[in-house]
Amino acid sequence: MPALLYAPKGLKHYFDSHYLDHTFRGLYRWNTFDICMLIPYFIVMVILAFYGVHRYQLVWLYLKNKKKEAKWNEPPMRFPEGQLPFLTIQLPIFNEQFVIERLIDAVCRIEYPRDRFEVQLLDDSTDETTEVARGIVERYQRGFAGMEPQPIAYLHRSNRHGYKAGALDEGLRVAKGEFVAIFDADFVPPPQWAMQVIDHFAEPEIGMVQTRWTHLNRNYSFLTQVEAILLDGHFVLEHGGRSRAGVFFNFNGTAGMWRQKAISEAGGWQHDTLTEDTDLSYRAQLVGWKFKYLQDVECPAELPIEMTAFKTQQARWAKGLIQTGKKILPRVLRSDAPWHTKLEAWYHLTANISYPLMIVLSVLLMPAMIIRSWQGLLQMLLIDFPLFIASTMSVSTFYLMGQKELYPKTWYKSIVYVPFVMALGGVGLTITNTKAVLEALFGVKSAFARTPKYSVKKKGEKSQAKVYRKRLGIIPWIELGIGSYFAWTVYYAISTENFFTVPFLVLFVFGYWYTGLLSLLQGRFERGANQGEQMHEKPYPVGI
């Protein structure tokens, strides 16, 4: 995040004949308190800069190895004609009544020989979803919407032992498939998806193939636009860079296919982390299985439409990756994997440590501004500017590059969103993700918090969000308070003529205020407008 935070008080200072002498004599005016503030400040900034440089490295790996990109229509080997392997599709769900029919309909339209194909709906629900899901499955078993009877089974658990990982593991016990595809409830796989993926498993060493998420409701709101850019960067540059470079990367929990043998040899699904997908991915690659990423195979999904849902999702991922890092990194570092694979695994699994560091930076920022108020142009160029390029600029470069790769003719339209991507992804999530990271570091267990899905696509479409809306707690108020603190630092920067700092401090203000206000206000107006209309309405038409 911002390092370019201290500019001289007025341009006339640049031309002071005693400027250099003033600058260096300032170094000797620090007292013990000043040093105690500045040492941790610069340590934090340097660590954040290293993670920023890593973003540049991922871009470089992506571009350097572009010729190694795997494509769906160019598998090195293919299964013999008429000998496709048996495929099981698993659909793990929990209290997701609004998207079940859309999911099942899409999966039942997947083009694959029906004598080598089965679908498992793995339902852990505790609400009306059970009745809705069972009724939909029965319709498709009989034949529905012009389709022949479908090989789909409904499996319901009366407990959530192991959460999603437990449901997947229980489904595997009765699965017939040599290969297993997994889709979360908010996904809508296209009919050709399985045929685009399956032939890549003709290579016997391939254990998993991941495809790219796209976004059904990208244009629903400003928030979903920002979320889409964040996910595009992950799927294009992180997955693309790592897979092309031949280092470890992870299954994303959905829109991917596994060889069942790879799952079993890696130790099966385990539920001691919240990112069971990443955990299994690293264990499988450590025992020798290879992974593929098909960037040109798209699988649409629904983005969270509420800030609380988005923060729930991001906190689960942040906590789960730290948990997986604690569990897996010692094994990775002791393995015989190449050193660059180990380094990339370290960056990947520890990246969320940046959120607690951002809290430290927020605390130290104002004291550091006051202490360094004497700073001149030379120190800014030698110290702050390189840190700025390494940390803040790497974020904008990373996400713009992702948009340029996906949308080469229209990527420039995303430029307007970049400051908000930085403010939301790098600042606004700091409080919730810091809490999640600290819980992971100190071994605090928590339930698998699902991300609510509402089957919305268009602007203004009613969401029925109140059914699954989360309790807000005190965190939004903390975010508003910290945003106000940074608003005061903006005032201080302007009053001391540190004008160069203002744009970056404003990112902090917007990031904290936006997440806090949206968490508190989102849904309020919708409830007021629709209260009478929905008061006696069931959340979903059961048993259509």
Q: What residues are annotated to the active site? A: 124, 277
Contact 186, 468 (CB under 8 A): no
Q: Look up residue 434 and give its DSSP letter.
A: H
Phi, then psi, of 484 in degrees rounded to 5: -65, -40
CA 457 to chain centre: 20
Ramachandran sector of residue 70 (left: φ over 0; alpha: ψ -120 to 50; beta: rest): beta
The closest of 439, 444, 440, 449 to 164, measured between CA atoms, is: 449
Return d(Cα 107, Cα 144) in angstroms, integer: 13
The closest of 252, 286, 308 to 449, measured between CA atoms, is: 308
Report residue 432 as tokens: 């919730």
**Residue 458 C-beta-side C-alpha neighbours within 13 Å:** 3
For 478-533, give the DSSP string: HHHHHHHHHHHHHHHHHHTT-GGGHHHHHHHHHHHHHHHHHHHHTTHHHHHHHHHH
**Virtual CA dihedral for 440, 272, 476, 433, nearest 10 degrees?**
50
3-class secondary structure, 121 = strand
Phi, then psi, of 448 in degrees rounded to 5: -70, 110
Return d(Cα 43, Cα 39) in angstroms, integer: 6
Report residue 94 as tokens: 């929990």
